[in-house]
Structure 1
Amino acid sequence: MSDNAARVRSTDGGEAGGHRPGPLATVPAEPGSAKPDPILVVDHLTKSFGGLRAVRVDHLEVQRGTITALIGPNGAGKSTFFNQVSGFDRPDSGGWTFEGHPLAGKPAYQIARMGMVRTFQLTKALMRLTALENLMLGATGQSGERFLPAIVRSWRSQEKDVQRRAEELLDRFNLTRMRDEFAGSMSGGQRKLLEMARALMVHPTMIMLDEPMSGVNPALTQSLLGHIQALRDDGMTIILVEHDMDVVMGISDWVVCFAEGEVIAEGRPRDIQSTQAVIDAYLGSRTGDQHDVLEAEQ
């Protein structure tokens, strides 16, 4: 049995630490359960690659202002699902709404402008730009990017506001000392913080984090967790794909488990750790030679 699989069984599922169940306290722990105030609603979403069915989600709702974790064994469809709803890939069928607005068919940049942004497991920092420049580039609606305002230089006051916000975010994520350093000189953990800060430049209402702890050294893990909780406490909705069960059980308000492209279970952390379908998905339902399939989804 892998260490992470064991934690599915043994991690304390109480509401201490980072949990804040709030409106989810009375929601049934079952796939497709309705939420009191969903910000994201997905219906009949499917995606196949040749003969492989990667995603088939009949119905899923994400509660506003909470941290929702997506878990599941390698190849379960978590990252593919992320790519569909964030506009980076097109599903075969189905639809989804964000803040009540249909998103099917919209490109990623339009979805981001509507307030749903995402990060990637492999960071997308521009290595030959400084930390400050990376953040400023993430701001949307900059008039200097249009031809006429660029000529008459009417963008200067706006750029000062953009720079001010970028510097505030550098300070929030403890990256001020890296302000003028190239992103390529930063550690993997620092680039994770930088990417999260850059996502906030568009003033999102929901942020999707794809394995935020992957490649992060232990010294920065707690810092990242603290920032994620702080964003939730500020009213932002967080969805994260994560394979580290200590992180999932310690920080999540709600957990959704994928297996073979489908949602097989969802609930509070304490519900998930005792759900037989989740244990079977990670360990295999056979009682004899169980396979260790709990690896990070590629």
Structure 2
Amino acid sequence: MAAETQSVTAPGQTKENAILVADNVVRTFGGLRAVDVEHFEIERGKITALIGPNGAGKTTFFNLLTGFDKPDTGAWTFNGESLSGVAPYRVARKGMVRTFQLTKVLSRLTVIENMRLGATGQRGEKLLSSVFAPLWRDQERSNTKRAEDLLERFKLDAKRDDFAGSLSGGQRKLLEMARALMVDPELIMLDEPMAGVNPALKQSLLGHVKSLRDEGRTVLFVEHDMDMVRDISDWVVVMAQGKIVAEGPPDDVMADPAVVDAYLGAHHDTELSFEDEAKIVAEAEAEIEAEIAETEEQS
């Protein structure tokens, strides 16, 4: 069904120009169904936020789409090409890259060395050609120039020769984002880009995410900062208990009862009668007394 004929926040909407499409993606851990996504699409050239309470399955879904984990069932395509079972490094080469909630910079390498590692197809990494410097020297110069331009853009050029381990949490996030651009990706997936970032760097990161869209790139990000979601998102997708429960423009999604229930629990606004409230208090007191009695017996 076309998006125009659905309610604004109906999950699984079809997009006009989808760059990523996933169907029936399921991942279980024992008896827990961590991801259970029937249909999911990302529109090209837009910023899409993936939100939901802790444990909703957002990062696991990221891991599945980028090849860092394998689903029980499901299939997905990027630019119409299947990515099911494709290794993470091959996913990146196809133009779909990601960052991590806990940054993956190489602490004992310098900032510029971290950047060079982000480039793909380096001839100097092959055993035979590595012996002959003329075969890879020009390419390395080109990669270094691109890396330096990106460091300047992300205001990390002054840290060029510092060890990556000396950077602050926010600077590491910037470095990881800059390194992701070394492959000139079409789709960038950011896992909680604001986590652990001080307020001074948050606005800088926000600006950089917006600039990615201005360049024509597609952005999908996981985030808990609702102010950020409202500020930069074109579209919001909500996960709860592994499923997509709503999606739509930010303001419409934030007002959706399904979204409120996902974050606060169903019937969170139901008024309690005096009898119900007294019963809850009595049960809580009984649990506390039982714990005290058990502690006394053990002592």
With normalisation by structure 1, the TM-score equals: 0.87
* Selected match of 2:194 from 213, 216, 230: 213
Query: What is the deviation of 1:99?
Result: 0.4
For 2:4 and 2:232, locate their aligned partners in 1 and report how far apart those are by CA, in whole Å.
15
Query: What is the deviation of 1:30?
Result: 1.4
Query: What is the deviation of 1:53?
Result: 0.3
Does the Cα contact within 8 Å between 2:9 and 2:256 map onto a contact in 1? no
Using a 3 Å threshold, how does the CA distance of structure 1 residues 158 and 25 change in structure 2: closer, same or farther? farther
Residues 9-46 of structure 1: CA deviation (Å, up to 9, x unaligned): xxxxxxxxxxxxxxx99984311111000000000000
Q: Which amino acid aligns with 1:127?
A: S
Using a 3 Å threshold, how does the CA distance of structure 1 residues 39 and 183 change in structure 2: closer, same or farther? same
Query: What is the deviation of 1:277?
Result: 0.2
Unpaired runs of at least 5, structure 2: 273-299
Aligned to 1:193: 174
Structure of higher CA gyration radius: 2
> SS of the counterpart of 1:201?
helix
* Selected match of 1:164 from 136, 142, 145: 145
Aligned to 1:51: 31
For 1:218 and 1:132, locate their aligned partners in 2 and report how far apart those are by CA, in whole Å.
25
Does the Cα contact within 8 Å between 2:53 and 2:240 map onto a contact in 1? yes
For 2:258 and 2:211, locate their aligned partners in 1 and report how far apart those are by CA, in whole Å.
32
Measured on the aligned residues, the alpha-carbon RMSD in Å equals 1.6
Question: Are residues 1:285 and 2:261 paired?
Answer: no
Question: Are residues 1:35 and 2:25 paired?
Answer: no
1:68-107 paired onto structure 2 within 5 Å: 68-107=48-87
Q: Which amino acid aligns with 2:78?
A: F
Q: Which amino acid aligns with 2:132?
A: V
Residues 112-156 of structure 1: CA deviation (Å, up to 9, x unaligned): 100000000000111111111100011000000001111111100
Q: Which amino acid aligns with 1:35?
A: K
Q: Structure 1 stretches (4+) deviating beyond 2 angstroms?
A: 24-29, 286-290
Aligned to 1:20: none
Residues 170-206 of structure 1: CA deviation (Å, up to 9, x unaligned): 0010001001111111100000000000011011100
Higher relative contact order, chain-length normalized (CA < 8 Å, sep 6+):
1
Question: Are residues 1:129 and 2:129 paired?
Answer: no
Residues 58-84 of structure 1: CA deviation (Å, up to 9, x unaligned): 001100000000000110010010000
For 2:176 and 2:151, locate their aligned partners in 1 and report how far apart those are by CA, in whole Å.
11
For 2:50 and 2:5, locate their aligned partners in 1 and report how far apart those are by CA, in whole Å.
20
Which has the larger share of helix? 2
* Selected match of 1:261 from 223, 227, 242: 242
Q: Which amino acid aligns with 1:170?
A: L
Aligned to 2:278: none
Unpaired runs of at least 5, structure 1: 1-23, 291-298
> SS of the counterpart of 1:257?
strand
Q: Which amino acid aligns with 1:77?
A: G
For 1:171 and 1:99, locate their aligned partners in 2 and report how far apart those are by CA, in whole Å.
31
Q: Which amino acid aligns with 2:237?
A: V
Aligned to 2:89: 109
Greater shift in the superposed pair: 28-37 or 154-163: 28-37
With normalisation by structure 2, the TM-score equals: 0.87
Aligned to 2:279: none
Aligned to 2:288: none
